[in-house]
Amino acid sequence: MELLLSDKRGFSLVEMMVALAILGIVLALGFQFYAFGANSFNAGQSQSNVQQNTRLAASIISKEVRFVDSLEIINVNESYTFSPEKRYIYVKDDSFKIRKNGVEESILESISNNIIFSLEFIRDKKGDRVLYFEVSADNSGRISTVDSEVQILNIEDVGIKPMEPENSAFSGNAICYTITDAASVAAAITSFDDPAQNATKLDLPTVPSGYTIAINTSDKTDVIDTDGTVAPPTVATTVTLVFTVTKTSDGTTADTVELEVLVPAYIDFISFDGVGINIAAGIIDNTTFEMEYNLDGGSDGSSGSWFSASEGNTPVTFVPGHVWVRETEYPSNMHWVQPRIDSPAEPPDVYLSHDNKQDATFMKFSKNGTQVNADDGYEYKVNSADWADIMNDTVVDSSNQNTIIVRVKATQTKLASQETANLD
């Protein structure tokens, strides 16, 4: 029987070591590729995170300040004193903060991942309503900066206030601003004036710019309707109203408390139709004994002195200002007699020249080399005589050293001009 021997061999030690060495090289290369990919991913994530935070911070600032009522760029430090009535945006301890009603809030804290923020607010030299700002964020050396701007819609003439008013361009690390809402405006309205005697339209309470107000409910719409129309009652009547305040920028609304107004009873006032002024004639037309007049009552009739008027026409000496008439029994029933009377004009540029048709002592009135005629509207006065119109053929005797002066005649609505110096 033939003995068969099988040839079975294992790995030698050298072969095993070579295999392990190759495996180690492969693993090392694979780990390096993995580490590179992981580091790149983490770096990308970190950069993306810091960019996301800067963009989000810029968005929060824009939304917060777009409809503010006032805004001031300031610098905040550890010793800065905050006002509880105002709001602030700033950076503290490298964190993005908003302060409202005296309470400081951290923004983006849950997603910022220890990102260090910095802020700068800028107003350019134009001084308009545009706020420029720069938000920077640093995450372990990875920095992202966003430059942005927002137009402040509710700020009118004052614009963005500077930290130092004498500087036309300026910057700061924080902003201080105020925001009102419909509820706060409505809550501030606790009363308003009763309608005037015989008023047919209600004067609504005043609201700040950027808000509107309208009547929401009226318990007596036959006296004061919701459109503000007033029907004066036969007896004084109390009406309870509720107003709605609307913020125009976002459409939010709020109602006032119930407000009571007293509508006076209707009075049959006298009419001032036909009352007018005639300065040239020196009268107020179409007056009655029931009236008083004031020659300089100001733009609202509150100044000057009042005098009893005559029946028919009232003779007066007009002065520059506003002429008013009112009902003697009910002084609130008053009327401005338009127009306003202006101050007298400058003296006319008139002089005396020889009249070739007359004796050398007789002179005619001339202006710009042309004889003054009746259509020019001038009048003259010799010594203490009355004023007389200058006609086409008017001449004066200058032989006796007379005092001769000229002025533009008064019209129905204008005073006579200032007088010239002596022309003789």
Q: What is the DSSP string of 139-166?
A: ETTEEEEEEEEEE-SS--SS-SBPSSTT
Q: Which residue(s) pair with 277 in the sheet?
A: 284
Is residue 8 classed as helix, strand or coil in its secondary structure? coil
Is residue 371 classed as helix, strand or coil in its secondary structure? strand
Confidence (pLDDT) at 31: 65
Burial of 81 (C-beta count, 10 Å sphere; 0-12/13-18/19+)? exposed
- Please give the chain's pLDDT, 424 residues, in tens: 455 555 555 567 776 777 777 777 777 766 666 555 545 545 445 555 667 777 888 888 888 888 787 888 888 888 888 988 889 988 888 788 889 888 888 876 644 556 677 778 777 655 567 888 888 777 766 777 778 888 877 776 556 766 555 544 577 888 888 888 888 889 889 988 999 888 999 999 999 878 899 999 999 999 999 999 999 999 999 999 999 999 888 889 999 999 999 999 999 899 999 999 999 999 999 999 999 999 999 999 999 999 999 999 999 999 999 999 999 999 989 999 999 999 999 999 998 888 766 666 788 888 988 888 888 999 999 998 999 999 988 888 877 778 899 999 999 999 999 999 998 7
Confidence (pLDDT) at 18: 72
Q: Which residue(s) pair with 134 in the sheet?
A: 120, 147
Distance in angstroms (rounded) separating the CA atoms of residues 316 and 337: 14
User: What is the arrangement of strands in the sheet containing 87-92, beginning at the earlier edge strand?
Assistant: 70-74, 174-178, 87-92, 95-100, 103-106
Residue written as tokens 């402040």?
Answer: 152
> Of 37, 53, 34, 32, whose CA–CA distance to 142 is shortest?
53
Contact in structure between 402 and 395 (CB atoms under 8 Å): no
Distance in angstroms (rounded) separating the CA atoms of residues 56 and 146: 10
Distance in angstroms (rounded) separating the CA atoms of residues 52 and 49: 5
The terminus-to-terminus CA distance of the chain in angstroms comes to: 176
- Amino acid identity, residue 129? R
Confidence (pLDDT) at 423: 85
> Of 218, 219, 321, whose CA–CA distance to 279 is shortest?
321
* Each residue's pLDDT tens digit, 176-205: 888 888 888 898 899 889 998 889 999 999
Confidence (pLDDT) at 125: 55
Q: Which residue(s) pair with 214 in the sheet?
A: 244
What count of Cα atoms within 13 Å lies in the side-chain half-sphere of residue 197? 11
Predicted model pTM: 0.47
Q: How many CB atoms lie within 10 A of CB 280?
A: 15
Residues 6+ apart with CB under 8 A from 399: 361
Q: How many CB atoms lie within 10 A of CB 104?
A: 13
**Rg value, the chain, Cα:** 44
